[in-house]
Amino acid sequence: MLKRLSVFLATLFAPAAALADFPKSWELNLQPPAGPLAEQMVNFHTMLLWIISAIVVFVFALLVWIVIRYNHKRNPVPSTTTHNTLIEVIWTVIPVIILIVVAVPSFKVLFSQGRIPEADMTLKITGYQWYWGYEYPDQDGISFNAYMIPEKDIDPSKGQKRLLETDNEVVLPVGKIIRVQMTAADVIHAWTIPAFGVKKDAVPGRLNEAWFKIDKPGVYYGQCSEICGNGHSYMPIKVRAVTEAEFTAWVAEAKTKFSHNTNFTNPVSVAEAQ
């Protein structure tokens, strides 16, 4: 029992450098951020949590006070006041101030997501019913598909996770600005890795763009986040973040394993094309 508790506490307070970011049992908060975008989002979320908690406590205290102080027994003759200019100004101005305080960091997060910085490399992602296709235009157009490993083939002793493991994993270097371009071949899907702070719809006939930077090497998981048919829950996303040297080695190996094309031209960014 004690051992179980200590394991539970250890996972609860595990340092953010934990090797794999995936949903865990009894988890309450967001996954630990693995890059600057996710970090910004987690900070914003924490700030919101403090604000809403304060509002809940305040409103609840008001209610309790009114129930106790102004009930029929203690206050048999109710006041007939209907207007109080000062109080009306206060309960208009304070919420406005709270909204402004919330809006500023909210727009900051939104803009840093939407403005794609000068990217070090691009990953092109295509959603299919029900798997993901990946292309590396900067690495001679290495391309492969990633299918979920079915539950019967999952080996928990290797740390494999049910409904999250894929046959081919997306390998990406840490410390690089990665631009992702998403589209879909059939219906709308959405690609996400919560720990990177990225989630974007993959829409047929459209090219959506997002970016992220991974700070810590490790394995990160996500799942299709736009209901796309009966295989929606069976098209997970697995990313392995490695050092630059390891990435170079993987690229060399991937070229022998997957199809690629040395004449592949790097697609221009959506912003550049406009």
DSSP, res 151? G
Rounded Cα distance between 134 and 258, Å, is: 11
Q: What is the C-alpha to C-alpha distance for residues 22 and 44, in angstroms, rounded to an integer?
A: 21
Indicate the residue among 219 and 228 with the shorter CB distance to Cu ion: 228
Q: Token digits for 133?
A: 């296709």
Q: Are strands 20-21 and 218-223 parallel, antiparallel or unpaired?
A: parallel
Q: Measured from the CB atom, is 172 or 202 closer to Cu ion? A: 202
Among the residue ranges 45-53, 67-75, 79-87, 225-233, the one whose residues contact Cu ion (CB under 5 A): 225-233
For residue 212, the one-letter residue type is: F
Q: Among residues 124, 179, 189, 238, which is the contact residue for Cu ion, using CB under 5 A?
A: 189
Stretch that binds Cu ion, among 31-39, 72-80, 102-110, 181-189 (CB under 5 A): 181-189
Which CB sits closer to Cu ion, 123 or 174? Answer: 123
- Residue 198 is a binding residue for Cu ion (CB under 5 A): no
130 preceded by a cis bond (ω within 30 of 0)? yes
Which residue type occupies 70? Y
Given 146, 180, 228, 237, the residue binding Cu ion (CB under 5 A):
228
Using rule CB under 5 A, residue 224 touches Cu ion:
yes
Identity of the residue numbered 262? T
Per CB under 5 A, the segment of 51-59, 89-97, 223-231, 236-244 that binds Cu ion is 223-231
Contact set with Cu ion (CB under 5 A)? 189, 224, 228
